[in-house]
A and B are shown apart, each in its own frame.
Chain A
Amino acid sequence: MTTSALPKKHMRISSKRKKERLVSILCTAALVLLGLMVMFPIYWIFRSSLMSNGELYAYPPSFLPPEWRFSNYAETLKVFDYMQFLGNTMTILVPSVIGAVITATMGGYAFARLRFRGKKFLFTLCVGSMLLPSMVTLIPLFLVWAKLNLVNTYWPLILPHFCGGGAFNIFLIRQFVKTVPRELDEAATIDGCGHFKILVFIILPAIKSAMIVVGLLKFIELWNDLLQQVTYITRRDRYTLALGLNIFKGSFNDDWSSIMCATCLSFIPGIVFYLIGQRYFVEGIVMTGMKN
């Protein structure tokens, strides 16, 4: 960099700034537009929760509820035992998510970094287990849990997540560990760290955001997993949120506006979890030391 080149470069930078600002404005505009499109169905769901069953079917559909029936929520909460269902759901979710994140991270690390006999075979098995939906194994597993007399407890819904947390998640961690530069753990090896220490002190901080993602995916997966919960939980006092939504589906009629209210209420924990996770997300890169 010679002194004579300086003024010219300054000019280049300022024009570049302008261009960058333009791009930034365009990007923001695109985000706003796409965001509105994404928001629209969500707004529509929320709007529906504030309407009566009759209004829902009216034509033409009204963009705003004809009457803001916030009382729908009060009515819903009268029968929808939100806190109890939430408590039950969390009792399943919290240990399951923790178990899944821990065991998936261990598995993913082994597949990404370590060398051992049978790795290819095990990895193929692991990928193979993603190829089928869990309903295929529902009945055989149910028979076993029934034999163990654990039906109507939360064990069948929690314990499986301590076994690797699902192939998808092991695989996700593996992919992320692979993006971590190898030099980092080689340096640690020279410092005398074992493989376990490398996992804890080098890899874990680097893939924090991936672990949050695993937690999020697991969280949502369990949140929507009605089929397993239906099968194992038949006592009302142990109902989860997903099961609880069914109390509006009677033997003869469905109360749609209450269902919409209850579902809107059951969004909340998912959003809160995401917002908490998102903070770690951004922190993740800072801690890897790769930001600059």
Chain B
Amino acid sequence: MKKLLALLLCVVMMLPAIALAADDGRIHITYSFWGNQTEAESVQAALDTFNAMQDKIFVEPMQIPNEEYTQTLVNYAIAKQLPDCGMVNENAVLYFARNGVMADVSDMYAGEALQPMDCITFKDAGVPVGYSSSNEILVLYYNKDMFDAAGVPYPSADKPYTWDEFVDVAKKLTFDENGKHPGEEGFNPEKIVQYGAFVNNWTWQMEVWALSNGGAWFSEDGKEVLINSPEAIESIQKVADLALVEHVAPLNVIPEDNGVGIGIGSGTVAMTTDGTWRLGTDFPNLDINYGIAPLPVMKEQVTLCTSGLTGVFNGKNQEAAYEFVKWYTREESNWEPLVLTGIWLPKSEYYYTTEEGINAWLGNEKYPYNHDMETGKKVLVDYTMNYAKPACWYFTPNTQITTNEILFTALQYVWSGERTAADVIAEIYPELCEAIIVE
């Protein structure tokens, strides 16, 4: 009986495997991506548009969970069954490019009116190997109601906080269950009800503070590790001390990719630094009266820009995939679901340097920060054009090892207060130097 049942089930199970795609004379290619339900639907919508537009290529989606994305793609690459194109995690772009997985797309936008910005161009030893599909920068989000309640003026879009001002304001916004602020007589750090600030300590975002403090993590040619400079070390310690010494931030020892969730989104933190995609992904679902401002400044005004990439993978359908990716990565192809919702900032200079370009997104009433265009222009447009530096994976090989493995683990000792930043960095410095050497 049981065996029969098993056999029956096996047969049923085989059916989907047999139902293969009919030969319709088109080149069938696969596009791999990760994402939640909404994202999957918008991908499918874009694919449908493309498939309906022409009759030579048919694109099929291939969905892989986010956390296992890169490793699964690598498995498929080892088995020589890589999809024809797909999203690539920032920290894997140079790894893929160096190992001959990605096709050369350096002249994809040659002669086009819209040129992707330089700061979101992935470069291997100076040579462009790919362009991000969008732009994202880091900004400061603040809860207007909490500022009003504390009688503190909102952060200015023209004149960013210095770090000391930032800490002072954070102290005014932090209070324990008796309403006492840090530094006051009788303040109890064990029973804080509201925190003033949370600086997202998700590893890659920490690089911005080294730049802000006049240092860097890596040299611009990607060949040297500079994280052991006093400026870089001090910047890490300053962020850690927000929770450990100043008591203005919640402790976050094992960082996860949910800065807004821990910070401002929890309703118990007044200010949070995080990326601009949160405008579209988090804030529409949060019932918070928020504003945006530039990041506080340690010594230099700076922000970090980054975004994932859509790659064409080498293979027999490379040309069809190239054509699809070229279409897919234009802002217009994802205008409604990704740009106007606030998830993507445009990647082409046109949208930042011309009045009509800016008006097309920031001026559109669907855009989440449309209600305050002046601030939007200063924080999003000016910062992207004048103060944005590329995150380290745009020019440093092996970031999946240096930042995701070595720094991620080691810095946790700093966040927990067990060791100082200087001590930890000194220990891992040789390991980092070894990891960025290119074979």
- Are A and B associated in one complex? yes
A243 to B40, CA, bound (A): 14
**B360 on interface, CB distance cutoff 8 Å:** no
**A146 on interface, CB distance cutoff 8 Å:** yes
A79 to B41, CA, bound (A): 11
Query: Interface centre among B262, B266, B308, by most A CB within 10 Å?
Result: B266
A113 to B6, CA, bound (A): 27
Interface string of B188-229 (1 = CB under 8 A from A): 000011000000000000000000000000000000000000
**A251 on interface, CB distance cutoff 8 Å:** yes
Minimum CB–CB distance for A217 against chain B, Å: 18
- B residues less than 8 Å from A255 (CB atoms): 36, 285
Q: Closest residue to B268 on the A side, CB-wise?
A: A59
**B165 on interface, CB distance cutoff 8 Å:** no
Minimum CB–CB distance for A271 against chain B, Å: 22
> Contact residue range for chain A?
35 or more
Interface string of A240-274 (1 = CB under 8 A from B): 00010011111111111000000000000000000
- Beta-carbon contacts under 8 Å, B252-284 to A: 257-258, 260-262, 265-268, 275, 277-278, 281-282
Quick one: given A158-B13, A243-B65, are A250 and B266 in contact (CB under 8 Å)?
Answer: no
Contact of A54 with B65 in the complex, beta carbons under 8 Å = no
Contact of B75 with A231 in the complex, beta carbons under 8 Å = yes
**B127 on interface, CB distance cutoff 8 Å:** no
A152 to B3, CA, bound (A): 25
- A residues less than 8 Å from B67 (CB atoms): 246, 249
- Beta-carbon contacts under 8 Å, A227-241 to B: 227, 230-231, 234-239
Name the contact of A54 in the complex, choosing from B10, B17, B63, B266 (C-beta under 8 A).
Answer: B266
Contact of B63 with A236 in the complex, beta carbons under 8 Å = yes
Name the contact of A91 in the complex, choosing from B12, B37, B63 (C-beta under 8 A).
Answer: B12
> Contact residue range for chain B?
35 or more
Minimum CB–CB distance for A205 against chain B, Å: 15
Contact of B281 with A250 in the complex, beta carbons under 8 Å = yes
A226 to B36, CA, bound (A): 17
- B residues less than 8 Å from A98 (CB atoms): 2-3, 5-6
Contact of A57 with B79 in the complex, beta carbons under 8 Å = no
Minimum CB–CB distance for A76 against chain B, Å: 10
- B residues less than 8 Å from A246 (CB atoms): 65-67
**B53 on interface, CB distance cutoff 8 Å:** no
A22 to B38, CA, bound (A): 59
**A187 on interface, CB distance cutoff 8 Å:** no
- A residues less than 8 Å from B439 (CB atoms): none
- Beta-carbon contacts under 8 Å, B223-256 to A: none
Contact of B265 with A57 in the complex, beta carbons under 8 Å = yes
Quick one: given A95-B6, A95-B10, A102-B2, are A253 and B260 in contact (CB under 8 Å)?
Answer: yes
Contact of A143 with B79 in the complex, beta carbons under 8 Å = yes
- A residues less than 8 Å from B39 (CB atoms): 250-251
**A142 on interface, CB distance cutoff 8 Å:** yes
Query: Interface centre among A53, A147, A155, A238, by most B CB within 10 Å?
Result: A53
Minimum CB–CB distance for B75 against chain A, Å: 5
**B81 on interface, CB distance cutoff 8 Å:** yes
Minimum CB–CB distance for A109 against chain B, Å: 17
Name the contact of B40 in the complex, choosing from A158, A230, A247 (C-beta under 8 A).
Answer: A247
**B72 on interface, CB distance cutoff 8 Å:** yes
- Beta-carbon contacts under 8 Å, A119-177 to B: 138-139, 142-143, 146-147, 150-155, 158
- B residues less than 8 Å from A94 (CB atoms): 5-6, 9
- B residues less than 8 Å from A153 (CB atoms): 13-14, 16-17
A250 to B258, CA, bound (A): 11
- A residues less than 8 Å from B287 (CB atoms): 54
Q: Closest residue to A246 on the B side, CB-wise?
A: B65
Minimum CB–CB distance for A196 against chain B, Å: 15
- A residues less than 8 Å from B62 (CB atoms): 234-235
Contact of A142 with B13 in the complex, beta carbons under 8 Å = no
- Beta-carbon contacts under 8 Å, B303-335 to A: 308
**A6 on interface, CB distance cutoff 8 Å:** no
Contact of B38 with A250 in the complex, beta carbons under 8 Å = yes
Q: Closest residue to A90 on the B side, CB-wise?
A: B9
- A residues less than 8 Å from B357 (CB atoms): none
A91 to B72, CA, bound (A): 23
Quick one: given A142-B75, A252-B281, are A57 and B38 in contact (CB under 8 Å)?
Answer: no
Name the contact of B265 in the complex, choosing from A54, A227, A249, A250 (C-beta under 8 A).
Answer: A54
Name the contact of B72 in the complex, choosing from A230, A236, A247 (C-beta under 8 A).
Answer: A230
A129 to B392, CA, bound (A): 42
Interface string of A56-94 (1 = CB under 8 A from B): 111100000000000000000001000000000001001
10 A-B pairs in the complex with CB atoms less than 8 angstroms apart: A53-B261, A98-B5, A139-B75, A142-B79, A143-B78, A231-B75, A251-B36, A253-B258, A253-B261, A253-B281
In addition to A230-B64, A253-B278, 12 A-B residue pairs with Cβ atoms within 8 Å of each other are A53-B286, A57-B265, A94-B6, A95-B10, A95-B13, A102-B2, A234-B72, A251-B39, A251-B308, A252-B282, A254-B261, A256-B261
Q: Which residues of A contact B (CB under 8 A)?
A: 53-54, 56-59, 79, 91, 94-95, 98-99, 102, 138-139, 142-143, 146-147, 150-155, 158, 226-227, 230-231, 234-239, 243, 246-256
Please provide the 9 A-B residue pairs with the shortest distance between their CB atoms, ordered closest to farther: A57-B266, A250-B36, A146-B79, A246-B65, A79-B37, A153-B17, A252-B281, A253-B281, A230-B68
